Structure 1
Amino acid sequence: MADDIFTRIEHVRTSDEVVQQVESLILDGVLRVGDRLPGERDLSRRLDVSRPILREAIKTLEQRGLLTSRHGGGTFIADVIGEIFSRPVRELIGRHRRATYDYLEYRREVEGFTAAFAAQRATTADTDLLTEIVDAMRVAHRDADFEREAALDVEFHNAVGEAAHNIILLHTLRSCYRLLSDGVFFNRALIFQFSGSGDRLLNQHIAIFEAILAGDSDKAKKSAEHHIEAVAHTLREAERANDWARVAGLRLQQRGKNGAAEPDNRKTRAAAK
């Protein structure tokens, strides 16, 4: 964890000031779910507060559900993203494919104006991060590392969401991507492995990235929308191809059970006549 994300508490040194600083770091997405806070001695030094004040602040943050402590393991950012849907609803969605395309329709609209905001608001740090991710995507694509590409896909969209600098968008999108990462809707690696789709998806991400770098909000919006439309199209094609393979396999299996040599037997009988 970078040394400079925590700043000295100025003026009145109270636990409320510490709470406010940590809450802001969580709200702005600087501290993410699972991030570990520095040890008590180190953090009190960085904040320039006494350890009793720090303990009181941590207790307040735990009571608010923002921090969680593990015995002997430290203090971590709690699961502040949470779940958009309850487990029964997530399982229900997973059993009905039409929900997948409603999800992608939702993402098309939201990610369109998110990319537009990012083109207008991205800082140098934002574009540096996006550059690192896109470079890593190129490497993963070159190496045909589909799982890595799929993981970087989520990181890319997360980074675009961060570059939009809208807190509500940031946390809404992170919740959406969690459902995607958990495989509620579809196997993302399947998309990258489908014939020719990897090249197209990489180029679509690069188009969004370049539009954001150029500050072209209209192009960024259209590129993001086109990307999600292409994902939906590729998913349909991949599912259809898998269904064809499944049916063909069943036919082959059934012929084997019934005796594939039957046509040859008919030829033998005809020759005997």
Structure 2
Amino acid sequence: MFSPIKNTKVYEQVIEQIKNMIIDGTLKKGDKLPSERDLVEHLQVSRTSIREALRALQIIGLVECRQGEGNYIRESFENSLFEPLSMMFMLQKSSSLEIMEIRKIIEVETTALASQRITDEELDHMKMLLDTIKSSADEGDKVKADKAFHYGIAKASRNYLIINILNAISSLMDEFIKDARRRILVEEENKDELAKQHDDIYKGLKSRNPKKASEAMKRHLDFTNEYYKDF
């Protein structure tokens, strides 16, 4: 199961062994890790090294500590990319336009995938969100429905990497979305335009037409990106 460690940077080697156990299937999502005492015994290292390794694994989002229960491999990783991406975003002094560019690159093809894999139940949910985007008098509800609409498309792609990447990108965009929508909606005719764009995406998904769906998403993102240029 484990191999004794006899080298420098001990905690990094502890991490490496745990990662290898995930790769070979010994550890799976939701599995409980051995206790600190057992890890010390199996790996023949100090408890300090074990704690350093576990703390590092918690920081990167691979392991979670449940109070009074022990350490577990995480079952959900939907928010695990947000922290490192947000730090990189701030340190690199990136602009929101860069996020929108990568979102466009990924999301257009994601919509094509989703059109081939989306279920009838998911389409019903998308229709409900679309109705909120079109008719709600509450802008806050429209923002939530808009985000959920795009996330629903990612989920329908059935590609877990895409879901996590777009979820992290969307979280980074939160602080810009309200201001951008405000700028877009200054022009009264844009309300109907935004609703039509979402409707076109929905129709592409419902018709199971990858070209139609992805082109509708591209038109929508090209339109909204124009209002992020000054952020």
Same fold? TM cut 0.5:
yes
Residue matched to 1:168 = 161
The Cα shift of 1:187 comes to 2.4
Mark the runs of 5 or more structure 1 residues left unpaired by the alignment: 1-15, 21-55, 68-76, 241-273
CA deviation after TM superposition for structure 1 residue 92, in Å: 5.0
Q: % of aligned pairs identical?
A: 18
Deviations along 1:84-139, one digit per CA (max 9) or x if unpaired, are: 4243x43356x66xx22222221112111111011111111211211111112122
Cα distance in 1 for residues equivalent to 2:28 and 2:90: 42
Q: Which runs of 5+ in 2 are unaligned?
A: 1-26, 32-65
Q: In structure 2, which of residues 118, 128, 134 is the aligned counterpart of residue 132 of structure 1?
A: 128
Equivalent pair of 1:122/1:164 in contact (CA under 8 Å):
yes
Number of aligned residue pairs: give it. 169
1:107 pairs with 2:111: no
Give the alignment partner of residue 72 of structure 2, picking from 49, 63, 68: 63
* RMSD (Å), alpha carbons: 3.2
Question: Paired residue for 1:219?
Answer: 212
8 Å Cα contact 1:191/1:235 also seen in 2? no
Secondary structure, in 3 states, of the residue corresponding to 1:19? coil
User: What amino acid does structure 1 have at the position aligned with 2:89?
Assistant: R
Counterparts of 1:17 and 1:64, CA distance in 2: 7
Q: So what's the TM-score if we normalise by structure 2?
A: 0.62
Counterpart Cα distance in 1 of 2:127 and 2:214: 18
Is the contact made by 1:90 and 1:184 (CA closer than 8 Å) also made in structure 2?
A: no
| Contact 2:28–2:73 under 8 Å retained in 1 | no
Question: For residues 197 and 172 of structure 1, do their structure 2 counterparts lie closer, same or farther at Cα, with a shift above 3 Å needed?
Answer: same
**In the alignment, is residue 19 of structure 1 matched against residue 30 of structure 2?**
yes
Could you tell me which residue of structure 2 aligns to residue 13 of structure 1? none
Choose between structure 1 and 2 for higher RCO, CA contacts under 8 A separated by at least 6 residues.
2
TM-score, with structure 1 as normaliser: 0.53
Question: Shift of the alpha carbon at 1:201?
Answer: 1.3
- The answer as to 2:186 corresponding to 1:190 is no
Higher alpha-carbon Rg: 1
Closer/same/farther in 2, CA of residues 234 and 189 from structure 1, 3 Å limit:
closer
- 1:148 paired residue number: 141
How far off its partner does 1:178 sit? 0.7
Q: CA deviation at 1:185?
A: 7.4
Instruction: State the SS of the aligned residue for 1:63.
Output: strand
